[in-house]
Structure 1
Amino acid sequence: MTNPRKGFVKDSLQILMVKLIGIQQLDKQQLLDTDIAQNETYYLNLLSELQASDLDPSSYAFLERKLAYLTNIGLERELQQSKLIIFGLLFIVVTLSVFTIRMRRKRQESLVSVLSKQERTVRRLILQGKSNKEIANELFISLSTVKTHITNIYSKLNVANRQELLQKSTGTST
């Protein structure tokens, strides 16, 4: 009496051999690469079956090498695409950063340009750390005139005190 398992194993090996012969024919006709590209999952599953079988590994080594090579090419292509996407995104981030910085500078410059010449001078002296009395002495104006200029500067630049003025002028925050 024959063991039915032996017959099944023998049939499975024969089917795998027939598949290998078909694959070799595709390779000879230079159609295997295209077929693998279109049916990669099938070939990877087939290779797993071949590796799990009792077939001599040298009988399907060509397929193993071909799949490794083509899979590697696919991975390299995906890597290149990923690099391009990353560089593109990096370019966008840098461009947006530069644009944002320029817009902030422009906005700050436009706020300062709203100030009169004397207010700009007072602002510059405030930023140098001078007191109201020192500003009045340097510009030969009264202390109340300095205070009026400072009130106008704060109002036009939308700040409440010298510290805010310094932060807004230098772009720093605490």
Structure 2
Amino acid sequence: MIEDYRKLSGVYHEQIIARVKPDSLGNFLFAGTNLPEENKMYRIHADTCKESDQNLSHVTGHCENSEEIVFVANNQTTLALPFSFEQEMFCKVVSNNEKTQTFLKIDSLKNDMRYAFSNYRSEANRKVNTEKWFSILQNYGEQLQEPLAELYIYSFLSDRRSILHAYYLSDLKTNIYYDNLLSRLQKQYPDTQYTRQYEAELKSDRFLISDKKEEATLPWWAYLLGGVCLLSLLGNFYFFGKNKKLKSAETAKASLTQQEQTILELILQQKSNKEIAAELFVSVSTVKTHINNIYKKLGVSSRDQVKALYT
């Protein structure tokens, strides 16, 4: 059961309500009265990993040996997940609850968006497509008449790790959609974690873009103390900051292209090749090519050596 809509992918122990092993044909069944009466977000995660193999990529939902599906359900929902004609799993949902299909439809739209971005990777194309797809996804979510589906879209469009985040902050200044979504959540899901989390995020992001932030007034001795601390730090940097390793690393970093520097930062944030590709709207092979160029320019041969260089 997903209470935090920022944790839509991966394995989080606080979310687990049931486990089961499939039979030799891949069939499995969950039964019992585990679900509440109202609709909530759920995820079924299937993998072939052993407990000892559940590393960071497993937790974040980027494990190569796993598949997952996110949907809306309640304790009256029946749900079947038949294999596709190509024996692919989680491509279709058969249910008595029409809301269960919404996330699959949204994922299809998101894939169309990624394709539109990948056709031409110019700055002008990015701006045009960003504005267009923000509108398409928001309008589609509103038509579904299910605020949880809109939260699924919102979590994608407002992700702080995405290149869309800057546009989201700009859109937040003038678009009344976000307030309308809050009203729909308060009406349909009052006093739930979903509504409280969304309301808190709106307040936080609006403070971030506010032109009139409150200025804190400090006593004179606080400024004096700050100045002393600053001088102390400058002194430490002057005497001990001439580390040869750091200088050479920064010099090498300066030789990287803008795209390579972006990928380097994502590597230092523990992002996988798949995550980097999704964030930059490029293929995994393109990411690998950039990483090989980064290795050559930095004089390293692995991610661990890259991290050690800047740690």
TM-score class, shorter:
0.3 to 0.5
> Which protein is bigger by CA-based radius of gyration?
1
Higher strand share: 2
Higher helix share: 1
